[in-house]
């Protein structure tokens, strides 16, 4: 983790808080990234995201959604799941990279911090309403790491004069 010019003017205790904040943010990002990769593997290979009733998959493969006849419900299902996975992977890569390589930029940007918070909060709601306990637990832990990293980045973070 590189230190910016501001980092050199901080006390050792403040630097430790910033390092801990970056580590927690990287942990948050790695959890989300891992969930995205696992979800993509489950989407594209194996039976994990297929219906328990094979007849349902056959029916989904034969019926189009109302919006278009250019695809089937099954193809849309796979596409929605794959794109959802790609969003998780993108979040993990971007926020992990920013935490490790450009922590000062990340933690000083209210826009980036708010975008991440809203996205993770939205994922928690989606998991609670539509999914099951494993993704809810993973995203909730990730959100807790995210919030803790922001709190640590703000803790005694005034530059020394």
List C-alpha distances in Å: 141 to 23, 93, 148: 14, 17, 10
Query: Can you tell me which residue has the tokens 């991440």?
Result: 116
Q: What is the radius of gyration, based on Cα positions, of the chain? A: 20
> pTM for this structure?
0.86
* 161, pLDDT greater than 50: no
What pLDDT, on the 0 to 100 scale, is given for residue 159?
A: 42
* 131, pLDDT greater than 50: yes
Under the banding of pLDDT at 50, 70 and 90, the label for residue 10 is low
**Least confident interval from 80-89, 125-134, 147-156:** 147-156
Round the average pLDDT of the chain to a whole number and report it. Answer: 90
What pLDDT, on the 0 to 100 scale, is given for residue 89?
A: 98
Percent helix, percent strand, percent coil in the chain, to nearest 5: 75, 0, 25
């Amino acid at each position: 983790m590189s230190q910016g010019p501001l980092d050199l003017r901080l006390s050792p205790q403040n630097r430790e808080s910033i390092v801990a904040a970056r580590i927690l943010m990287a942990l948050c990002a790695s959890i989300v990234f891992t969930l995205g990769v696992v979800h993509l593997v489950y989407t594209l290979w194996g039976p994990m995201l297929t219906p328990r009733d094979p007849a349902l998959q056959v029916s989904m493969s034969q019926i189009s959604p109302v919006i278009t006849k250019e695809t089937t419900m099954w193809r849309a299902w796979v596409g929605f799941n794959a794109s959802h996975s790609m969003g998780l992977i993108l979040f993990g890569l971007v926020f992990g990279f920013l935490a490790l390589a450009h922590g000062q930029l990340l933690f000083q940007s209210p826009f980036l911090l708010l975008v991440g918070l809203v996205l993770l909060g939205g994922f928690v709601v989606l998991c609670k309403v539509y999914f099951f306990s494993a993704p809810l637990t993973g995203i909730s832990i990730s959100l807790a790491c995210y919030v803790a990293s922001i709190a640590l980045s703000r803790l005694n973070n005034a530059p020394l004069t």
